[in-house]
Structure 1
């Protein structure tokens, strides 16, 4: 004993020790800690799972023991009756001895001799001994089984009682674990399994003893019982061994588990027979085997389920279960479940086919008279149908399908008709479901045509090949071609007639085979199937726009449709006929008047972006067809009428520059140019076109296309009010690109490649148009990195002077435009124009300085109320005056021309002399001071030059 702990123990008083001891023994008390209390829910989960297992185990034992008690009681009673008769054969019968004595005495009297009686000796026969041994043993075993069964019932009750003595989950869980582990430790499972074995031995002993009992009585009867016993033993042995070799067998005897264990002791012999591993009991082996290759069994389960659902009201639970089994939480489908789910709609029996049942369900408008309940039921049915279509489409896209075990169409034509005309179904789900059903049917049709092509390309006699192709094509008709294509339908009819005729005329020729092959080759042309996909996508979008409905999971449905085929649906290199391309002209078919103010609201931008992409999926969008012209007009009007947030979304999603293409393609159409001009303005105004403060390559490309068109524009464009602004803004976009790239080059933010060939070409073109009265720098392309540093600096300086002069000229022109406009629109990208000019300390051409000064004077020369307003309805001149004009520079060092300075001073003085003058605006005072300095320096220079002349 460690003596260091003695003082602590001795410090406790006797009363305290006794009190603690008594308290620990009180029933119902346990010293649980707060940490244990925090685990109550965790322990409850263990208790629930453990109690479910224990309940099923103990209830099984109890029912088995109840059966054995009843059987052993009846059996013992019957056996006792037999024993009463059999045990007499173990002793001499006194009646026999008495009759023997009487017989001997009568014989002696008749002979006159003296009677001498000797009692005969008795020796029980071997069959009697064997019979009684076995029957008494059988009776003992039967009674033992009854006693043990009673014990098992008592022990199970005690087990459950102990597990529920404590209400605390922690204590209850630990008691449950303690008693169950004890149950396993002492092998109660084996004990319970032994009781039926003893009973079976008892019964076997009875039958063997019965043979011994009947052997002295009657030989024929003995043989009969022997035969019965042999049959019984064979059946018993069979019932014992069958589950060892067939794990799905329902038969089993207590000896089966024993033999299974013995077999596995021989290096896992029984487990290896079933390709299993591990230390598995017979029951565990059955569970493990049931999880292997379950596809056929799953199919039978699903077929049974469908056969059991006789009424539509019973279908709703399975409708709800189907999406859960098919769709993944993050999107996509569970292709691994296809085999299970496909068994629901592969049956040709409508009563057993889930698609037929859904068809019938929605055709009857559901099962409830309550509108709310009705809508819910229809939604559930359509979600199930949509999930099935989604699964079939993706499975058909990624996996090969055996046509022999596949329906011609997963979804029948009648279902398609119901979805097309029904007005009681939820619109958003109906549109998406209909599109996916059509897509699945198109896949099925394509699969059949491919199979026909494979059959016709094989080797063999013409009649055999045509007959095989006709068998494959059976079930497909012209009504299954749901899109408008004269080319496809004509070849389809031709192929169908050839294949049908081959079944009636058995003398098919090689020419007929070749005709069929040519017809199939035309049907397999990628353009034909692209047209079909465009038709499905077009119908999907058109129905959405027509009903003002956002389809259920629109993006997912749209992507699933056009990805259901290996074709590049949006590749314009894949040609389609002009009459097939009409399916993509959705905007021209809208029943909505695009001139109404609510046009962008009735067609959400998310939907319009998809229409735009579909419209540009063929080369026919650039034609002069009235439909295409109308489409382009509606697209541009939509862009002009929608809100700024909608414009931002549209431009962001339009990664293929369809809006720009729509504008460029329509520029040469002189009818109604206004919406094109407004669209150009809208696109220039979009912030999403900018790459930071720089010009994006997308905007630069578009601006250059407009720049090239401007000289060729007809008078209908040039006379339009906003055309001058389009010209100025186009020039500014290209100029801005040059300004920022040249600045990056000057500040070592970029190398010589900052001015790429396109930028250099744009500078040349701008110089010819905007700076024709100036000579361009000698070398517009950047100098190489190896050039002399001074020459490089000089080149950059001359280029900056050229570009900044161009920038200021554009500013002067925009000031003139704002001066002339009175509609409250401030034109121009003033933030962009000020960005580099405000810190510029270089030079600007004097002529352009004068143009700027003159434009400023024109603005100030307006009536004061036009440039001096502060209200929200202020004229553009006023907005320009206060918001932009005086922020073009901090130092105004580029103002060097005296004539321009004098005009600017007059303009500023007029502003300051106005009766409503509220102080200088932004850097107005700095500009005034700079102009005064320039004038003073000019006067001094003139004075010096005059004095020099006099001298």
Structure 2
């Protein structure tokens, strides 16, 4: 407003000077009457000299109807309008200044922040409600209109004075008006134009209105919905400008590059460069991964001779060792530089990579990693940076290796002599990689006597195959000693992008890395919740080797240790499900059980198997028979649980309609449904001896195997002593319990189940299994059927044993003051009522 007042004051002063001269042209000039009289006198004298009579004229006077000339009227009208508009602008500007002062005064008059905020909000929304912003926008428009009127009046003023000067003034007016018009509509075409006038907003709204009408007519003609165009037609100028500035395009990329180039060149000091470097990781990496839209920009910044951003970041990192920074400042700068180098390492030119891997940076990093007192937070970022530097170095060297391999393979690769082939480049390259490269190379493959074409090709192929995995496994081993996962661990693995098929030549390194990870996990962070070291184990298991046709897959002892000793079930399940080839894990279990001889290894293998089975992970049905054959000769607490769970998985997922004498599982199935033979009397009950019959098909009923399986396990529990009690018996009962309705079951199997049920309740070591035997067992299907004619327990002898067992159990519960209305007692009473009613 102050600028408006100054301009309005100066303009009014100039305009007043012109008006002082122009307003006189509105009235007759007295000097004109004198000129008229002298003209009449001259006429009379001439007439007297000629001797002619002259009529006496009427009294001289001006015509009352005669007014100012059109030019004078137009000039004064335009100038007086311009003066009025100028003074009006000054008045409005003064009022706006007063209103603004009142607004600030009223909002600051209170000391309480809450009251000030609410008064501010109240007055601000009143300001918007009465459109004070529109009044402010009108002031410059009125001033521009006043200036246009002044120029128009100036042309009218000069017309009667001098035509040439008037034409010059009119031309100037035309140029100014044309320029003003162009500046008004220029932003409508170019949204990035800095030029605009107070009329630009009005023309923009008018343009949008006609645009909307055009799209509406097009939609009516084509009978289609053009929602996107309609939405664009209604957008404001600010919204359109924002959209044009942010939409993805080559122009935006070029603008970003120019701006960032100027910024990097302007950041001459390290303290100025540091905030810029700190922002690089967030620009290139977001919460959803890589932001590839900025890759080309930063690739140019890193490689451009004008910016050399990569070299400057490396120099900034090296400045941390100058001793001029405080420890806290040095640590912060190191972390910033490590993160930035990690983000741009894929863009670094070979010279910068060489400086990182062979220069002072490499020496600094090696000293840090070898120092036991090194800051783990710095190592967290440095390990990820260092592995990517090594990886990029290998990618550059891989090109050279492929060139040499292609050259040598083009020669006579079967010749054992050097011949005319120049082997020096290959030998120099191998020696360079062995002595100077940051990754490890096995020197056993570079004996001097193997300087032949086939040997060199094999050696270089070996480097290409194994080096990526050696770099990766070194990264895993270095990460184990940290207090958290390395910086952007998963993104680092994604950038490296190795196939999950591990070559046989690096199996030893994989096993060694897995051993280190498991040992550190179990010794330092073996909690009930998954931890970050479980993530390392999980990622290592992704590189579980696929089956080699020439070798049997072996099971590492550290994997067994992890499966047995890791206390977090969630962590173990998450790690095992990461295996790309789960069937190979079961194959390794089978191979291991068939080859190990020590009881400790066998017991460890079985407990690890059972843990996987308890998670619902099932081996292929073709392996179940192998597992059962091995378990027949073993006697460990885990054998009954593993055998029972394997049989339950087979019953749940496989068909029971065929038998195979060579398959132990099929033999067992055939035995469960074969006709029983009475062999001996045991407490008045026929003991069942099930013999395999090759001619007898499986098919008396599909419920028999489920009942027999459950019976076998509770028999094993009932006859076991405390020190050989089945491993995790309670969980195993839940896993093998039938979860489908049972139909008809052979009577002998019913009697066997009843006897085992009774023995279970009579064993002092099975007290914890009684509740499960009632709530989650074949008895559940008896309780669920009111009409026992449809139940599977229809043999009177078996029913009497169950009734007697449950009656005695109910009496024990009452005698031990156990609440009879608990869920277990209610279930026992319901079963007894149903069994007794059916017996009656």
Which category of TM-score, normalised to the shorter sequence, fits these structures? 0.5 to 0.7
Residue in 1 that maps onto 2:442: 485
Q: Any unmatched runs of 5+ in structure 1?
A: 1-50, 62-152, 192-254, 266-270, 272-276, 393-402, 496-514, 564-568, 690-698, 739-754, 777-797, 868-873, 937-951
Cα offsets for 1:749-786 (capped at 9, x unmatched):
xxxxxx599x988998534124426449xxxxxxxxxx
Worse-superposed segment, 542-551 or 462-471: 462-471
Residue in 2 that maps onto 1:413: 358
- In 1, the alpha carbon distance for the partners of 2:511 and 2:455 equals 26
**Cα displacement (A) at 1:532:** 1.9
- State yes or no: 1:860 paired with 2:735: no
- In 2, the alpha carbon distance for the partners of 1:450 and 1:183 equals 76
- State yes or no: 1:388 paired with 2:314: no
Cα offsets for 1:430-455 (capped at 9, x unmatched):
22222222222222222344466678
- State yes or no: 1:707 paired with 2:707: no
Kept after mapping to 1: 8 A contact 2:563/2:608: yes
Kept after mapping to 2: 8 A contact 1:707/1:727: no
Residue in 2 that maps onto 1:399: none
Cα offsets for 1:705-761 (capped at 9, x unmatched):
24322213585xx122211221111111111335xxxxxxxxxxxxxxxx599x988
Kept after mapping to 1: 8 A contact 2:629/2:664: no
Kept after mapping to 1: 8 A contact 2:672/2:704: no
Kept after mapping to 2: 8 A contact 1:735/1:763: no
- Cα 1:926–1:589 change in 2 (3 A) is closer
Kept after mapping to 2: 8 A contact 1:587/1:634: no
- State yes or no: 1:368 paired with 2:320: no
- State yes or no: 1:610 paired with 2:539: yes
Cα offsets for 1:104-130 (capped at 9, x unmatched):
xxxxxxxxxxxxxxxxxxxxxxxxxxx
Residue in 2 that maps onto 1:676: 605
* Partner SS, residue 844 of structure 1: coil
Residue in 2 that maps onto 1:901: 799
- State yes or no: 1:379 paired with 2:335: yes
**Cα displacement (A) at 1:609:** 0.3
* Partner SS, residue 529 of structure 1: helix
* Partner SS, residue 701 of structure 2: helix
Q: 1:734-773 to 2 correspondence within 5 Å?
A: 734-738=650-654, 766-772=665-671
Cα offsets for 1:336-362 (capped at 9, x unmatched):
443445434666999982242143034
- State yes or no: 1:816 paired with 2:715: yes
- Cα 1:490–1:322 change in 2 (3 A) is farther
- In 1, the alpha carbon distance for the partners of 2:556 and 2:98 equals 86
Residue in 2 that maps onto 1:31: none
Q: 1:210-225 to 2 correspondence within 5 Å?
A: none
- Cα 1:181–1:815 change in 2 (3 A) is farther
- In 1, the alpha carbon distance for the partners of 2:138 and 2:572 equals 71
Cα offsets for 1:376-423 (capped at 9, x unmatched):
33332222122112666xxxxxxxxxx8x9767484433344334422
Partner residue of 1:447 out of 386, 394, 399: 399
Kept after mapping to 1: 8 A contact 2:89/2:142: no
Kept after mapping to 1: 8 A contact 2:480/2:517: yes
**Cα displacement (A) at 1:464:** 14
- In 2, the alpha carbon distance for the partners of 1:58 and 1:444 equals 69
**Cα displacement (A) at 1:878:** 5.8
Q: 1:91-106 to 2 correspondence within 5 Å?
A: none
Kept after mapping to 1: 8 A contact 2:730/2:768: no
Kept after mapping to 2: 8 A contact 1:834/1:888: no
Residue in 2 that maps onto 1:545: 480
Residue in 2 that maps onto 1:585: 512
- In 1, the alpha carbon distance for the partners of 2:263 and 2:550 equals 49
- In 1, the alpha carbon distance for the partners of 2:191 and 2:486 equals 53
Residue in 2 that maps onto 1:533: 468
Cα offsets for 1:792-833 (capped at 9, x unmatched):
xxxxxx977532111111111222233336579443554565
Partner residue of 1:359 out of 300, 303, 317: 317
Residue in 1 that maps onto 2:265: 304
- In 2, the alpha carbon distance for the partners of 1:289 and 1:433 equals 31
Q: 1:629-648 to 2 correspondence within 5 Å?
A: 629-637=556-564, 640-648=565-573
- State yes or no: 1:802 paired with 2:682: no
- State yes or no: 1:666 paired with 2:592: yes
* Partner SS, residue 588 of structure 1: helix
- In 2, the alpha carbon distance for the partners of 1:407 and 1:681 equals 53
Q: 1:82-97 to 2 correspondence within 5 Å?
A: none
Q: 1:339-358 to 2 correspondence within 5 Å?
A: 339-344=297-302, 353-358=311-316
- In 2, the alpha carbon distance for the partners of 1:591 and 1:485 equals 25
* Partner SS, residue 616 of structure 1: coil
- Cα 1:645–1:630 change in 2 (3 A) is closer
**Cα displacement (A) at 1:834:** 4.7
- In 1, the alpha carbon distance for the partners of 2:293 and 2:406 equals 27
Partner residue of 1:876 out of 761, 769, 777: 769
Residue in 2 that maps onto 1:426: 378
Kept after mapping to 2: 8 A contact 1:541/1:607: yes
* Partner SS, residue 290 of structure 2: coil
- Cα 1:421–1:175 change in 2 (3 A) is farther
- In 2, the alpha carbon distance for the partners of 1:521 and 1:156 equals 88
Residue in 2 that maps onto 1:846: 747
- In 1, the alpha carbon distance for the partners of 2:540 and 2:755 equals 49
- In 1, the alpha carbon distance for the partners of 2:323 and 2:459 equals 38
- In 2, the alpha carbon distance for the partners of 1:175 and 1:605 equals 67
Partner residue of 2:730 out of 814, 827, 843: 827
**Cα displacement (A) at 1:848:** 0.9
- In 2, the alpha carbon distance for the partners of 1:157 and 1:341 equals 56
Kept after mapping to 1: 8 A contact 2:283/2:294: no
Residue in 2 that maps onto 1:206: none
Residue in 2 that maps onto 1:561: 496
Kept after mapping to 1: 8 A contact 2:701/2:745: yes
What is the aligned length? 610
Partner residue of 1:887 out of 780, 784, 795: 780
- Cα 1:561–1:427 change in 2 (3 A) is same
- In 2, the alpha carbon distance for the partners of 1:480 and 1:926 equals 78
- Cα 1:609–1:923 change in 2 (3 A) is same
- In 2, the alpha carbon distance for the partners of 1:585 and 1:607 equals 13
- Cα 1:542–1:439 change in 2 (3 A) is same
* Partner SS, residue 343 of structure 1: helix
- Cα 1:669–1:354 change in 2 (3 A) is farther
Residue in 2 that maps onto 1:108: none
TM-score normalised to the size of structure 2? 0.58
Kept after mapping to 1: 8 A contact 2:704/2:746: yes
- In 2, the alpha carbon distance for the partners of 1:157 and 1:520 equals 91
* Partner SS, residue 896 of structure 1: coil
Partner residue of 2:291 out of 333, 353, 356: 333
**Cα displacement (A) at 1:918:** 6.3
